[in-house]
Amino acid sequence: MIDSNIYVIIVAGGSGKRMSSSLPKQFLIVHDIPIIIHTIRKFDKALDNYQLIVVMNSEWIGYWDELAQRFNVREHSVVEGGAERFFSVKNAINSIGNILNNDVVLIHDAVRPLVDEETIRNVVKQSKEKGSSIPVVPIAQSLREKTGEGISCPVDRSKFIIVQTPQGFNLAKIKDAYNFDYQRDFTDDATVFEAAGYELFYTEGKSFNLKITYPEDILLSGCLLGK
């Protein structure tokens, strides 16, 4: 008897504006394969069994269906995204029925194809044990805070961390958290979870797990995916 399930939500609602591309960045090609396919294949390698949910802007669902068939993507459900990431994730979570007490969900950016198997497995393990798991990395560069037009001051970088995905949660708890009304400072799922009063637990992320945002990120990810 199954006492828990693993769900993976791939958030693929990007528009490609910062890429100066008519094609959303999750569909851009790296080594003859769309970025989102690279991303999903990382979860296929890391997890023996999981249920996949892809969140997609409605105008690109048909395009995605063709890609999924061409690249033999595992059986999955497709959920229409919302105006903000918050609503896209909420739609995906609400599409899941019959939640078991120990079910966990990993929520991951489609444009993070460099996530490694170790991170994925660690997030699953900690989410089951503690109810949440957020991969983070320290900041290596120097930081300055803008204090005015053309004015800035140095800050202590040791007080800051970079938050990555996949972010993992007990499914029942994150579903409860997404019953909250949307707030502009809900920048990721961890902030939603924390606002609902649940505790965040961190795990070690990897510096190479970058989020593809700008054209130069495509070049870098291409080099790393080619290894």
Q: How confident is the model at residue 2 (pLDDT cuts 50, 70, 90)?
A: low
pLDDT value for 185: 92
* Residue closest to 171 by CA, chosen among 7, 2, 56: 7
Residue type, 54: V
Rounded distance between C-alpha atoms, residue 18 and residue 13, angstroms: 13
pLDDT band (50, 70, 90) for residue 19 = very low
Quick: pLDDT tens for 166-199. Answer: 999 999 999 999 999 999 999 999 999 999 999 9
Look at the chain and count its residues: 227
* DSSP three-state, residue 83: coil
The tens digit of pLDDT for each residue in 128-164 reads 999 999 999 999 999 999 998 889 999 999 999 999 9
Has residue 45 got a pLDDT over 50? yes
Q: Which domains does the chain have, with CATH numbers?
A: 6-225 (3.90.550.10)
pTM: 0.94
The pair of structure tokens assigned to 223 is 């080099």
Looking at residue 226, its pLDDT comes to 76
Residue-wise pLDDT tens digits, 67-102: 999 999 999 999 999 999 999 999 999 999 888 889
List 133's β-bridge partners, or say none: 168
Long-range contacts of 46-51 (CB under 8 A, 24+ apart): 46/117, 46/120, 46/121, 47/6, 47/8, 47/120, 47/121, 47/124, 49/6, 50/5, 50/6, 50/7, 50/8, 51/5, 51/6, 51/7, 51/8, 51/76
